[in-house]
A and B are shown apart, each in its own frame.
Chain A
Amino acid sequence: MQTQTKIELSKKEHKPLQVNPIKHSQPMGAALAFMGIKNCLPLMHASQGCASYTKVFYTRHFNEPIAMYNTSVSDITAVLDGGDYSILMAIENITQKNKTLLPELIGLHTTGLTETKGDDVRSVGMHIEIPYCYVNTPDYEGGMESGWALTAKALIAQHTKPSAQTKASKILLLPHVSMQPIEVEKIKELCESFGCTTLALPDLSTSLDGYLSEGQGKLGTGAISIEDIVGLGDCEYVITIGASMNIAAKALLEKNAAIKHAHFNHLMGQEANDNFVALLMQIRQTQPNALTKRWRGRLQDAMLDSHFLIGSSHFVITGEPDMCVGMCELIQSVGGSVDAVIATNYSTVLESINAANVFVGDLEDAVKYFAKADLVISNFHAEQLLHMQEKHTALMLRGFPNYEELGNQLKNDQLYEGSTYFLFEVANALRVVKHEKH
């Protein structure tokens, strides 16, 4: 094999280009976040291709119609317009064309093009009657994870009313971008089982959850409304899941310093979930329900059942930092050797990963570690690369995009329950490749 020079974890890129990229852009994260708000009209301030690509990307990942609009910046507006013309025209055209469309929020986010030309998207809001939220998300900075987090932050900073009071047991969850709709739902459900009034921002649990209904794909159908966001100032707790979401929690604390903030890098595996459940016990001064306790036992059993296979195997994980860190720790908790974590973007949470190689890169970098691995956890692009190598390495599809498999929105890797399923899926995938050796 090729001799490898170790790539260090750094904010700086280690080569001038990306070959077979895994990184996705900030505007795409912002678009997804707005889809997680009830009756939100996600509006991308861009040339038409940015929105069209994003729409196709999510349509194929979720197998759902996607609510996505754009301002269609042209060569003329790119030069002459300061943003107001194309944004206001877009809103007018959309609402005039379809009178039954009644958005409760315009979710506007920028792109590389409109940031380069320097549009003042903030002041445009003064001319819009519908509640309006703007986010600056150039795609030459950050990535999907930060675009999503910046949107949550902007929604709070621009819309939440300051407050001095808190409502006991009212919780705001801030989930990171890689969590699928069912995962958000399960975490909310657990909090509610303790008796907490629980909101999530963004909340995709009723948006891209693969639910058959009429008239889909016109507006976001997330479970949190703009009214809910306005009233977030009286939460007792804000709980961030994923390091990227800390900026949004900070914005909420600025609205009310009395809100308590608890942070979890992820909710995968026994340790993280013990801490999470302990927090909920403390908030409500009560025991978890019987089913939650039961699931902890099942997870422990799964850990023991799978430890032999996983403990003797080598792994490569690629994806958004907040997703990688959880998977890595869960696999390591049952003895798996994580050879490399290749992340889409730099995040401080990557510094906490204890693996042989942790760096920001692409699939060209990752593929160098594939040949020694028993299982690769990556997006669908890894599939054709693994087909090209002689050794049979298993693949578990996680992260965006997964164009090939169905039911992505209902894959749950979180909490005691999801972690249990995750370990079984890993072990079963390993069984297939490891048995072939004999």
Chain B
Amino acid sequence: MVNRAKIKELMNESACSHSKDKKPGAGCDAPKPGMAAGGCAFDGAQISLFPYADAVHLVHGPQTCLGASWETRETLTSYKGRNHTVMGFTTGITTNDVIFGGDKRLDDSIAYIMLHYKPEAIFVYSTCVTAMVGDDIDMTCKLASQKHGVPIVPVHAPGFVGGKNLGSRIAGEAVLERLIGTKEPAFTTPYDINLIGDYNVTGDMWQYLPIFEKIGIRVLSSMSGDGRVSDIRTAHRAKLNVIVCAKSLVTLCRKMQERYDIPWVSVSFYGKRDTSFAIMEIVNALGDGELIERAKKVIAEEEAILQAKLLPYQKLFAGKKAVLNTGGNKAWSIASGLQDLGIEVVATSIRKSTEDDIEKAKEYLGPTGILMKAPASEQSKIIDERGAHILLAGGRSLYTAIKKKISFIDVNQEKKVSYGGYHGLLNLAEDLKYAFANPVFANVSKKAPWEMV
């Protein structure tokens, strides 16, 4: 069942930066009616767990929840078996289930999945309607798990309990309570880490994992990019939790520290500086002198290789100025990448950022950088005043770029290549090179013959 006390606890994460100025117990903001809101708790839970390609993700709810959300994220996997991340499974409940309960349908669905797909595990997501009518999902999962001999994990994140962030926390909670610590790893090393919160979108992880390997850092398990359920079950034996650009899973990390004495570090792999910094954070936390030396050496090598490749771009981008209008950690992480490429970031949006993100943005942009609280109304003026050459923003800002006759990149569009790690910076550089050279924005700003005076 949805546990109110648990949700309250999760909404008020003490390790979360925004909680500091709030009254005890106040927790995260509840969604406001009518405000253009982001995804719901179910969305967040699904995003956090869906990358487990060896598990089936069964959504117990009506049509919207899965029908509009499956196969929408480029979370890549190296799993050799049937890849379940690109598949959609839903009980698609009907009126009958709302009236009489959907437990029977859920049980039958699990049996069907075990018969036809034989996954390593099944995650069963409750949704608004099935939570509301009170299906006993816990019991159905428990019995089915005993019957079929694989973990069948209920995830109680119906949309109405809150936003995406909370959903991710609930997903972390489900993994902690039901999976972590249920299996022992085949072997351990002193350099075992868990990667938390990287979902390997467009293969982001694969940009930096080869570097880990060179240094000798071993990824014991992942939550959940390119992850395996059998690995996350052994996560309690790791020496360090590495949380990647994901505030929402700090709860999981904090609890694993309390329960298994595993420390955690929070890092980002966007841009050269962040990637190098992240690697050093990890090896320093693991605290092995030899490992640290090796890391320094590998970083120096990688940076040298990258620098040589970046040089032509840096020449090309010299003197270019950018305005960045995007949310959350992108406010500083993309800024950092742009700066690595020699582009001056004159302004960034902090409209949807947490206190931590704002601090970082301040640090990266320096004293002359502008932090925009209302980017929609501010950005036009700033582009004029600072003479910006490019706007990186969501699709809604396209018109601003056209009016100002400057280049534009839609940062919210589903990207097809990774901007992560050292190499990802080159992908970003390529995209920027084409954006700067593209005459389309100037062309479509031209007046029609009938608009001429």
Contact = CB atoms under 8 A, between A and B. Distances in A.
B130 to A, nearest CB: 9
B112 interface: yes
Interface of A: 13, 15-21, 23-28, 43, 46-54, 56-57, 59-60, 65, 69-78, 85-87, 89-94, 97, 111-113, 116-117, 138-141, 143, 212, 214-217, 380-381, 384, 401, 403
A216 B400 CA distance: 12
B68 A116 contact: no
A71 B31 CA distance: 9
Contact of B163 (A27, A46, A48): A48
Contacts of B72: 56, 60, 403
A217 B93 contact: no
Interface string B46-66: 000000000000100111111
A52 B167 CA distance: 14
Nearest to A44: B64
Interface in B266-292: none
Contacts of A28: 64, 67-68
B377 to A, nearest CB: 12
Contacts of A212: 444
Interface residues of B, number: 63
B161 A49 contact: no
A197 to B, nearest CB: 27
B211 interface: no
A54 B64 contact: yes
Contact of A47 (B87, B116, B160): B160
A59 B71 CA distance: 15
B395 interface: yes
Nearest to B396: A65
The interface centre, meaning the residue of B35, B66, B95 with most chain A CB atoms within 10 A of its CB, is B35
B109 interface: yes
Interface in B1-49: 2, 4, 7, 30-43
A215 B403 CA distance: 13
Interface in B395-434: 395-396, 399, 414
Nearest to B82: A388
A87 B68 CA distance: 24
B30 A91 contact: no
A293 to B, nearest CB: 32
A18 B34 contact: no
Given A17-B89, A217-B396, 12 more contacts: A18-B90, A28-B67, A28-B68, A47-B40, A50-B159, A52-B39, A57-B68, A60-B414, A71-B33, A72-B35, A74-B160, A111-B64
A243 to B, nearest CB: 20
Nearest to A213: B399
B372 interface: no
B30 A25 contact: no
A141 B94 contact: yes
Contacts of B71: 380-381, 384
B188 interface: no
A17 B128 contact: no
B306 interface: no
Contacts of B66: 21
A72 B94 contact: no
Interface string B84-111: 0011111111110110000001001100
Contacts of B2: 75
A72 B35 CA distance: 8
B89 A18 contact: yes
Contact of B87 (A20, A52, A143, A401): A20
A17 B113 contact: yes
Given A16-B108, A17-B90, A27-B64, A48 B37 contact: yes
A140 B97 contact: yes
14 contacts: A16-B91, A17-B90, A21-B63, A23-B67, A24-B67, A25-B64, A56-B72, A60-B414, A71-B33, A90-B34, A93-B32, A112-B93, A138-B95, A139-B63
Given A140-B94, A384-B71, A50 B34 contact: no
B34 A78 contact: no
A111 to B, nearest CB: 7
B70 A20 contact: yes
A384 B84 CA distance: 12
B114 to A, nearest CB: 12
Contact of B129 (A19, A23, A113): A113
A46 B65 CA distance: 12
A51 B399 contact: no
A78 B112 CA distance: 32
A75 B43 contact: no
